Amino acid sequence: MASGTKDYSFGPHLIRRTEIFAETPLSFAFVNLKPVVPGHVLVSSKRVEPRFTSLSGDEVADLWNLAQEVGRVVEKQYSASSLTLAIQDGQHAGQSVPHVHVHILPRRPGDFEKNDDVYDAIDDASKVLASGRSARGGGGPGEKLDLDAERRIRTPDEMAAEAAELSLLF
């Protein structure tokens, strides 16, 4: 498994090789522009295909093998104890980038007030009721958090630094 040998398309976006930390023949793993929790990364098919249901068997196997390996690495690297892996397959399932990608999120006890709030966060729901602490910190009891506003867009340098660190682990 090599990391970051070339740039790849992610739907309409270009993912620079500096943001890619692992690569297999049919898939690549890269850091997130707006992570929901520390270590929230993405694994995508190299072929630009919107729907998971349209991937070939080889692409599915390659994608999930890489997702499994990436999950192992980010869980350890971010001192987590569990993982959320999710695909939003199609626009009406919340997909915002029309290119198959697995979300991989390291999880810790109490990182979300309610465990399933993670799916609202992934779905980029604009508001969620957080009656305690949130994964992003802040938020007093009963305070409404604007997840999108809280998720800061990172700079290319920040993303490259994280990818460089993760690439050493593959």
Binding site for ligand AMP (CB under 6 A): 10, 13, 15, 32-34, 42, 88, 94-97, 124
Q: By the 8 A CB rule, do 159 and 19 touch?
A: yes
Give the nearer residue to ligand AMP in terms of CB position, either 13 or 132: 13
- Identify which of residues 100 and 130 has a Cβ nearer to ligand AMP in the complex: 100
Which residue of the chain is nearest ligand AMP when measured via CB? 96
Comparing CB distances to ligand AMP, the nearer of 93 and 143 is: 93
| 99 tagged catalytic | no
How many other β-carbons are positioned within 10 Å of the β-carbon of residue 43?
A: 27
- Tell the smallest beta-carbon distance from residue 140 to ligand AMP (Å): 26
- Helix or strand (DSSP H, E) at 49: none
Q: Provide the token pair at 124.
A: 């980029």
The rounded distance, in Å, linking the Cα atoms of 13 and 116 is 29
Q: How many CB atoms lie within 10 A of CB 109?
A: 7
Q: 113 vs 124, which CB is nearer to ligand AMP?
A: 124
User: What Rg, from alpha-carbon coordinates, does the chain have?
Assistant: 16
Closest separation in Å from C-beta 159 to ligand AMP: 7
- According to DSSP, the residues that pair with 22 across neighbouring strands are 29
CB of 105 to ligand AMP, least distance (A): 10
Q: How far apart are CA 50 and CA 103, in angstroms?
A: 15
Nearest distance in Å: CB 161, ligand AMP: 14
User: Of the residues 40, 99, 101, 103, which is catalytic?
Assistant: 101
- Residues marked active site are found at 101
